[in-house]
Structure 1
Amino acid sequence: MYLRRAEMRDLPQIETIIQDGKELLRAQNIDQWQGNYPDTKVLVDDIQNGHTMVLVDHNEVLGTAAVIPAPDKSYTGIDGEWLTKDDHYVSIHRVAVSAKHRGQGLSGKLFDAMFAEIDKAATVDGIRIDTHPQNKGMQHVIKKMGFTETGHVQVMTDGENVTDFAYEKYNHQQVPAHVE
């Protein structure tokens, strides 16, 4: 099992995994990803911009997420306070794992692999993420992976502003010297 940047040939598997995520959220009566977002255009843009990472085993994509370098327009305003005070962060969006392999700890493996990749960038001090207030499963994963809740952010989804919980974690074991 390994992490790599997605290629356009991965798009069908990524779309299936995103659809799996939408169906799981719908089954839990969570109003997240229930419209068009994330749609094929967003996923293609992520791949073409080199943002999509995929967790792969034997040529099968098991999980996917977009790792986006700062500045992230979703995170320009926060009702709260980020841990890092500059643009030395990356954002993680559109995290999903295959329904065929649910219950195998793939979310943790995906995050661990992304953290290892992000850690190679010495200029990245913080890792930011957000999720819907009703998405208790993702909140659990985010907290388990060492993120701290920092407040609320307004994100645009399917043409509406949605208030999500915001989280951040330091990329390195120690607090960066230039963080206030």
Structure 2
Amino acid sequence: MAEKTGTVKELAAIANVSRKSYYQWLKREVTKHELEDQAILEAIYQIEKRHQHSAGYEKVTKILNNVNGKNAGIKEFTFNFNFPINIKRVRRIMREHGIKADIRQKKHNLQRQVQQYKEDNLLKRRFDQPLPNLVWVTDTTELSYGVANKVRFHAVLDLHGRYVISYLISPTETADAAINVF
């Protein structure tokens, strides 16, 4: 497919800029800030090559500013920039050029741990009881039915005759359901 080219006037009209602005942009000088960014980018590429794409923007900023940190390998570069390098600037340059650390973030388990209470072994494996209503035990069991349906079966058992005294079927396992069985 042949590409069509147009005149500067037509292209400027498409881009919604004036011809004068286009020629000013064409002849503009590179700013000091852009030169600094280019120097920082070249240094970032060196750091990325040395650290095998595992250095994030915080570590890169420390290396560029020659900050001696705890991480091994920060002292191996000596960049002498005569201007301070901000972490926001490093992050912007890395984002603009698609530079990322190839490391996986830790996934933290956000489930809150419930405190569990461990009681003394009062029964001492004496499951045969001589009289009724001396020892009751309880249990909660999850029962599945159908494809994805589950219920919880809460029961209280008397160890003398090994019969169910009370039971409750609930859709969720809650402390209220276990207490209601009693």
Q: TM-score, normalised by structure 1?
A: 0.20
Which protein has greater RCO, CA pairs closer than 8 Å, 6+ apart?
Answer: 1
* Larger Cα-atom Rg: 2
* Structure with the bigger percentage of strand: 1
